[in-house]
Amino acid sequence: MATYKYAKVPAKGARIGYEGGELQVPDHPIIPFIEGDGTGADIWRASVRVFDAAVEKCYGGKRKVAWMEVYAGEKAFTLCKDWLPEETVDAMREFRVAIKGPLTTPIGGGIRSLNVALRQLLDLYSCIRPVRYFEGVGSPMKEPGLLDIVVFRENTEDVYAGIEWKADSPEANRVIALIKELGMNVRAHSAIGIKPMSEFGSKRLVRMAIQYALKHNLPSVTLVHKGNIMKFTEGAFRDWGYEVARDEFAGRVVAEADLGKAGNGARADAVVIKDRIADSIFQQLLLRPAEYSVLATPNLNGDYLSDAAAAQVGGLGIAPGGNVGDGVAVFEATHGTAPKYANLDKINPGSVILSGVMMFEYLGWTEVSTMIVRGLENAIASKHVTYDLARQMPGAVEVSTSAFGDQIIKGMDR
């Protein structure tokens, strides 16, 4: 076990293991958490009560999470003058499954973003964002319940590789000169950004998306790309996606183009692999949402797509996320620190709570996930909700962050 200077390892807890591609989860797993900056403390206080209540209701004390606070962001900076202490990354690696609130992005520091740093240091290559509707939440759509998707967004390549140079820097000018040498032209004084996409990175992301669809009996995986224009990056993503489907999941998947063809070798319940161009998928999710289930996409497309989809079902306050690698995962709120609401006990804790739902599913504690979702559904149905949901729900009573947590716990028994 690594040594920790600031974090305390809970005495009554055990490490999660990983063997043969499967997590080995003890009854008292140690789970590191980062409370988060701004509204993070309010949100975490409510969320952890909901998590512990659901685990207790499901397992009556036989199972219990041993929470371990680790530090990042402003709290870490105050404690040890470091925005992301090495021991926090070590804890996430050692204990394998963690959850975090939102973190301030330090301005002008050496770190581009703490969230991006964590994803890269732990090789959390897939950002998973489920988007579903909760009955009663205000939405701009006529039938928001038709959208029920899970976005798998590649997390380590494309624009997130962060390779770019300022206009007129020596590096940008060298790259421009090289591009000229290669027979292409880039306007003088341009800034330069590089968009690397590899077969390895694309295939492992699509593989995880297909495995997820098979495990959850979902009907399709759609590869979202801009391959009509960027043929060797986005187009290659699509081709590598089809390749991994064909080579590794024969019989269990079928390409949309082969549907209904005799001798395609696919089972009747095979997952359909389709592809859509990035701009088209935005209108498809608005006009024909029921035709989509799992989406696998390179980084930038996925960034836009997951927030746009979250807006269709009622906003960021209830949009969860998880960053998952091989045997390591960090679940997180998808919104930021919303600093103007810090310490007012006002903000919606739903995003972290639903990220917890994803976390318990990942641990295999699916009863807990089901229990929390039931609690949240009933809390929303009772119309006692935080300000963001209340302002979109006629007749709703606005309640605080902590009172909303209470409503969710109450809702578990209904």
Quote the tokens at residue 99. 């959850």
With contact defined as beta carbons under 8 Å apart, do 327 and 24 qualify?
A: no
Question: Nearer to ligand NAP by C-beta: 227 or 320?
Answer: 320
Minimum Å gap between C-beta 3 and ligand NAP is: 27
Q: Whole-angstrom Cα distance, residue 206 to residue 337?
A: 31
Minimum Å gap between C-beta 103 and ligand NAP is: 4
How big is the site for ligand NAP, counted in residues (CB under 6 A)?
Answer: 18
With contact defined as beta carbons under 8 Å apart, do 332 and 323 qualify?
A: yes
Return the residue of 145, 235, 327, 336 that touches ligand NAP, per CB under 6 A.
336
Question: Nearer to ligand NAP by C-beta: 116 or 277?
Answer: 116
Letters for 292-321 (x = contact with ligand NAP by CB under 6 A, - = none) are ------------------------xx----
Catalytic residue among 42, 90, 158, 303: 303
Contacts of 257 (CB under 8 A, 6+ apart): none
Letters for 363-402 (x = contact with ligand NAP by CB under 6 A, - = none) are -------------------------x--------------
Return the residue of 58, 137, 151, 338 that touches ligand NAP, per CB under 6 A.
338
**DSSP per position, 125-164:** -EEEEEEE--TT---SSSSGGG-EEEEEEE-SSGGGG-EE
226 in active site: yes
Question: Nearer to ligand NAP by C-beta: 13 or 317?
Answer: 317
Q: How far is CA 175 from CA 112, 178, 243, in A?
A: 22, 5, 32
Question: Nearer to ligand NAP by C-beta: 107 or 188?
Answer: 107
**Residue 157 contacts ligand NAP per CB under 6 A:** no
Q: Pairing mode, if any, of strands 126-132 and 148-154?
A: antiparallel
Question: Nearer to ligand NAP by C-beta: 32 or 241?
Answer: 32
With contact defined as beta carbons under 8 Å apart, do 138 and 389 qualify?
A: yes
Q: Whole-angstrom Cα distance, residue 314 to residue 137?
A: 6
With contact defined as beta carbons under 8 Å apart, do 372 and 408 qualify?
A: yes
Q: Is 135 exposed, middle or buried (0-12, 13-18, 19+ CB in 10 A)?
A: exposed
Minimum Å gap between C-beta 152 and ligand NAP is: 18
**Residue 129 contacts ligand NAP per CB under 6 A:** no
Minimum Å gap between C-beta 299 and ligand NAP is: 15
Minimum Å gap between C-beta 133 and ligand NAP is: 17
Pick from 132, 136, 133, 116: nearest CA to 124:
116
Neighbours of 259 (CB within 10 A): 12
Residues between 190 and 209 that touch ligand NAP (CB under 6 A): none
Applying CB under 6 A, the span of 300-308, 332-340, 366-374, 392-400 interacting with ligand NAP comes to 332-340
Per-residue exposure over 95-123, b if at least 16 CB sit within 10 Å of its own CB, e if not: bbbbbbbbbbbbeeeeeeebbbbbbbebe
**Residue 42 contacts ligand NAP per CB under 6 A:** no
**Residue 151 contacts ligand NAP per CB under 6 A:** no
Q: How far is CA 66 from CA 10, 28, 78, 89, 281, in A?
A: 6, 6, 25, 18, 42
Catalytic residue among 27, 168, 261, 279: 279
Question: Nearer to ligand NAP by C-beta: 23 or 316?
Answer: 316
279 in active site: yes
Catalytic residue among 203, 226, 274, 346: 226
Nearest residue relative to ligand NAP (C-beta):
336
Minimum Å gap between C-beta 356 and ligand NAP is: 14
Q: If you ran DSSP here, which 8-state letter would residue 251 be given?
A: T
Residues between 83 and 102 that touch ligand NAP (CB under 6 A): 102
Residues that bind ligand NAP (CB under 6 A): 102-105, 115, 316-317, 332-333, 335-339, 347-348, 351, 388
Catalogue the active-site residues.
Answer: 160, 226, 279, 303
